[in-house]
Amino acid sequence: MLNYFKQKFCSIKKDETFENKLELFQANFFNSPYHSWITESKALKRAFFILLDSLNEQLLQILLKKNLICLRSYGVLACTLSLPPQSDVLIVYPDLIKLLNSASLMHGVSILAHELGHIILNHSHKDLNPILAQLEADTIAFEMGFGKELMEEIKSFPTSYEYQLRIENLAKLLTRQA
Ligand SMILES: [Zn+2]
């Protein structure tokens, strides 16, 4: 992995093994100038490493076709951004940063996995029932191995119909897996 980090940006060939593709994808992600806020923090770098290391081949294949950019929101009133065309942006809010810096790191990573799920499933370009979109993104987080943490996290939110459905969906997936 370290060798890849010496290069600025690596192109990823189709015939690479899954392991190599994943390493190159991670190297490109962490080397991106948009992600210096992640690499500058030990805790955040660890969180994103756990997240991206949990991608399976199918999910990675989808992300390789996208331009994933994760931005940090400082909770200011407004901001303007100039981003590369066709980029998919995941915005991380201060509450999530706090969680990623805490002992509940994995709960924070499960939320990142859910957000990544929306990007993988192209939800911002689809006219989908919003609750269904949440359930689908949760299923991606489950597939990445964060179903239990995500369910625990949703259980800590105030009760709502949507959260109840999400908890039931994750509980079903987790029992099927056991
Ligand atoms: Zn969501």
pLDDT of residue 146: 98
How far the first Cα of the chain sits from its last, in Å, is: 33
Q: How far is the CA of 1 from the centre of ligand 1 (A)?
A: 31
List the pLDDT tens digit at each of the 178 positions of the chain: 455 555 567 788 888 999 999 999 999 999 999 999 999 999 999 999 999 999 999 999 999 999 999 999 988 788 788 888 889 999 999 999 999 999 999 999 999 999 999 999 999 888 899 999 999 999 999 999 999 999 999 999 999 999 999 999 999 999 998 7
Q: How far is the CA of 114 from the centre of ligand 1 (A)?
A: 6
Who's near 133: CB < 8 A, 6+ residues apart? 118, 121, 123, 126
Q: How far is the CA of 49 from the centre of ligand 1 (A)?
A: 21
92 phi, psi to nearest 5 deg: -105, 120
Interatomic CA distance for residues 86 and 66, integer angstroms: 8
Integer CA distances (angstroms), 19 to 8, 26, 50, in order: 19, 11, 15
Integer CA distances (angstroms), 147 to 16, 17, 55, 128, 175, in order: 29, 27, 14, 22, 11
- List the chain domain ranges: 2-177
What's the token pair of residue 93? Answer: 């809010």
Q: How far is the CA of 28 from the centre of ligand 1 (A)?
A: 25
Q: How far is the CA of 176 from the centre of ligand 1 (A)?
A: 23
pLDDT of residue 168: 98
Q: How far is the CA of 20 from the centre of ligand 1 (A)?
A: 30
Q: How far is the CA of 56 from the centre of ligand 1 (A)?
A: 20
Give the predicted TM-score (pTM) of the model: 0.92
